[in-house]
Amino acid sequence: MRSKRKVLGGIVYHCFNRANGRLRIFKKPGDFEAFENVLAEAIDRVDMRLHGYCVMGNHWHLVVQPRLDGDLSEFMKWLTGTHSHRWHRAHGTVGIGHVYQGRYRSFPVQSNKYYRTLMRYVEANPQKAKLVSRAVDWQWSSLAIRTGSKKPFKLCKPIIELGDGWVDGFDNLPEMPEKKIQNSIRRGAPFGDPEWTRQTAAKLGLESSIKPIGRPKI
């Protein structure tokens, strides 16, 4: 039986989920728009603060901040469940398989330079994946909203300033600790400086996520 996550309000989280079997569930504009509509409804239902997002062909990233303890679990359950139901209905596959590979993955992020790094990682995804030559050209992310090329969505004010050169920074992407971020996605490890990571892991019962993998040395 899966353990229940301990999720506290006020903390910023990165959330991620991928389609079952890496199926490309977002193909045409209507697929992306349908997910964004469900996301907007979920935000209204749970009063979630959305800092950033990016929807790709077979997965998506969200950077969110629940107001109350337990809100994130409620938000994600409704979001993925509702989107799965509507996707099946729209594609005539009701009762046939799962849309998502499983439960969403999440990790907390420190509200300082690590937050800014994570936001850059999320919004740069399409460019890193070579889906577009410039991240600003991808319409299914919060970056498109920041540049004004997409109608306003339900983004909240960044928890720290992203900087005047935020958009231009995607033309010359800085080095990002991708291995550390990928480890956090995979293991749920807090993303921040060592002391904050240790304290947050203890607070949320995530101690195992920051322990080295492998057999202990004798």
Write down the H helix ranges in 68-187: 71-91, 113-128, 142-146, 178-187
Two tokens at 162? 């992203």
Give residue 1's pLDDT band: very low, low, confident or very high (50, 70, 90). very low
Give the residue from 57, 64, 85 showing the smallest Cα distance to 9: 64
At how many degrees (to 10) do helices 178-187 and 113-128 cross? 100
Structure tokens at 126: 């399409």
How far is the C-alpha of 85 from the C-alpha of 114, rounded, in Å?
A: 35
> What's the CA gap between 161 and 167, in Å, rounded?
13
Q: How far apart are CA 60 and CA 16, in angstroms?
A: 6
pLDDT at 215 over 60: no
Split at pLDDT 50, 70, 90, the class of 152 is confident
User: Which range has the worst mean pLDDT, 48-57, 79-88, 110-119, 147-156?
Assistant: 147-156
**Please, what is the average pLDDT of the chain?**
91
**Domain segments of the chain as ranges:** 12-177
- Nearest Cα neighbor of 106 from 57, 71, 68, 145 is 71
| 169/127: higher pLDDT | 127
Q: Which pLDDT score, from 0 to 100, does residue 40 have?
A: 96
pLDDT band at 4 (very low <50, low <70, confident <90, very high): low
Q: Read off the tokens for 22.
A: 């890496």
Q: Which CATH number fits domain 12-177: 3.40.50.970, 3.30.499.10, 3.40.718.10, 3.30.70.1290?
A: 3.30.70.1290
Q: Is 217's pLDDT higher than 80? A: no
Statement: residue 214 has pLDDT above 70: no
Token pair for 165: 């050169």
